[in-house]
A and B are shown apart, each in its own frame.
Chain A
Amino acid sequence: RAAAQSNQYSRAVDWLSRYGYLPPPDPLTSKLQTKEGIEQAIRVMQRFGGIQETGIIDSETLKLMSTPRCSLPDIVGGEEMRRRRRRKR
């Protein structure tokens, strides 16, 4: 069970990166995905998909992640937008 969870978590992070919810690893800044960042990304994905925002990889989230879909990312340019907003503040 623990192995399945570990694999599930890893796949979910991969999915979130692929569809723009997590910034891709950047060779210049080399940021590490944070636990909070991943939780926040899951929330955004859940909000975007219209399911309950829990911040955890629950069964509804897994179901949505395995739903056939378009390959384009849902969030485009998200990281740059976030940087700008932070700078403005």
Chain B
Amino acid sequence: YALSGLKWHKTDLTWSVHSYPSRSNVSPEQVRTLLAHALKAWSDAAPLNFRQLPGDGAAGGDIRVSFASLLHNDGYPFDGPGGTLAHAFFPGLDEVSGDTHFDDHETWSYRGGDSTTDLFTVAVHEFGHALGLSHSSSDPSIMRPYYQGPVGDVAQYKLDLDDRLAIQQLYGARGDTRPGGVNPDPPLFPSPLPPRPTRLPEPSFNERCQGGFDAVANIRGEVFFFRGAHFWRTKRDGSLVSLRPALITNFWMGLPTGTNKVDAVYERKSDSKIIFFIGSQYWVFSDTKVMSGYPRPLSDWRMTTPSGAALDRVDAAFVWAHNGKTYLFSGGQFWRFDESQKTGNQEPDPGYPRSNHLWTGMPTHMDDVITWGEGDAYFFKDDFYWVLKDGGMNQEYVSPKATGMDWLRCPGPPPTAAPQNPGKPKECICAL
């Protein structure tokens, strides 16, 4: 078992119900009965006494139960049917301590069928949290994080050994001569280190909203936006790691000091190495450290133009999830590579380069490209991005969207003219 490090410093606890399930056949009276039995499971094992406060809604108490859906003002939104079922706050002095929330989008029942969720089972688990227990990896234990179906008759239910030991560690055993448990105050988590002062980078707070990124890359499920000597980073859920940018050379160790622009970046599919292109050279990173032997010349990639000229830069690079191939763009043309086997010297697929115009509807001189979401290709240019749906190079019309607003938590763009549709310059754009 695992303890949260928090407990109630009293054994007489009160509880109340503030709302009831709206999508289930369980009546309010049945809900109260099931919750009372769920609390009794814990008070059978430890010297705890639970008393329900009269009057729903207005009643307070130590453990306040409610059925809520989606965002419900505690910072931990529910997610609709399935997924997360419930949560509870550990004991303490905070206003929310002991609060226990059930997702109202679930179909709650008591010993119902497979399409329903057993309220008693989940309530025993959540009250375990409200009393100070964390998730357990033991089997059997009601504190396992995953829902595994009804535990049976409420009148017959007894906690498993792992759960009894956990609650008794906190509050002692019922009938014990020493109230308060073996260790009245459970061990606390180590105190965090004092914060070290961080030198903040120079760009202004809102510079991320100016668009025109040198490179954009999807690395390990996060999107990195590079501009100048700095980068911003967004998580999969759309939130920024920080509103302030980080210095590229402080994070990506091994790039030359004074690096103030990168041309393109991508994560190689075959070995998760990260490739940086700057001018006529490229660097390969293992996580955030450059590998020995780099930089290497761009000529390794054997990208030549029809006139035989060697390239001096890469404009954009990405792995298209649609086919797993790597695409490098330069000077209005692109080359395709199959990197599934080899990681040494690259050789473009035959028939390349081809013109960027083949990516119909996309900007021909893009800042960068990434694969995101359901495998769609996202082209970035200036303040906008275009989404090319999975696999299709010839989409009729793709409307540009505002990068800052959608990716970097920026306010909406001023009502100025949108960029011309790069594929069909004569067509009007009313998207903005």
Which residues does chain B contribute within 8 Å of A27, judged by CB atoms?
241-242, 244
Which residues does chain B contribute within 8 Å of A11, judged by CB atoms?
236
Q: Which of A64, A68, A72 contacts B83 (CB 8 A)?
A: A68
Q: Which of A4, A31, A35, A70 contacts B145 (CB 8 A)?
A: A70
B139 near A: Cβ within 8 Å? yes
Which residues does chain B contribute within 8 Å of A31, judged by CB atoms?
288
A9-52 interface mask toward B, CB cutoff 8 Å, 1 = contact, 0 = none?
A: 11101100001000001111011111100100000000111100
Which residues does chain A contribute within 8 Å of B129, judged by CB atoms?
70, 72
| CB-based nearest A residue for B320 | A2
Say whether chain B's binding surface is mostly helix, strand, loop, or mixed.
loop
Interface residues on B, range: 35 or more
Min CB gap B144→A, angstroms: 8
Which residues does chain B contribute within 8 Å of A80, judged by CB atoms?
189-190, 192
Given contacts A2-B375, A6-B375, A69-B85, contact A14 B236 (CB under 8 A): yes
| CB-based nearest A residue for B325 | A2
Whether B375 contacts A3 by the Cβ 8 Å rule is yes
Interface residues on A, range: 35 or more
Stretch of B16-24, B44-52, B153-161, B218-226 at the chain-chain interface: B218-226
| CB-based nearest B residue for A48 | B137
B contact set with A: CB distance below 8 Å: 2, 4, 76, 78, 82-88, 106, 117, 122, 125-126, 129, 134-135, 137, 139, 145-147, 189-190, 192-193, 195-196, 198, 219-222, 233, 235-237, 241-242, 244, 246, 251, 269, 272, 287-288, 321-324, 371, 373-375, 390-391
| Additional A-B contact list (11), CB under 8 Å, known A68-B85, A72-B87 | A2-B375, A6-B321, A6-B371, A25-B235, A30-B233, A34-B287, A38-B220, A70-B84, A70-B87, A70-B145, A71-B86
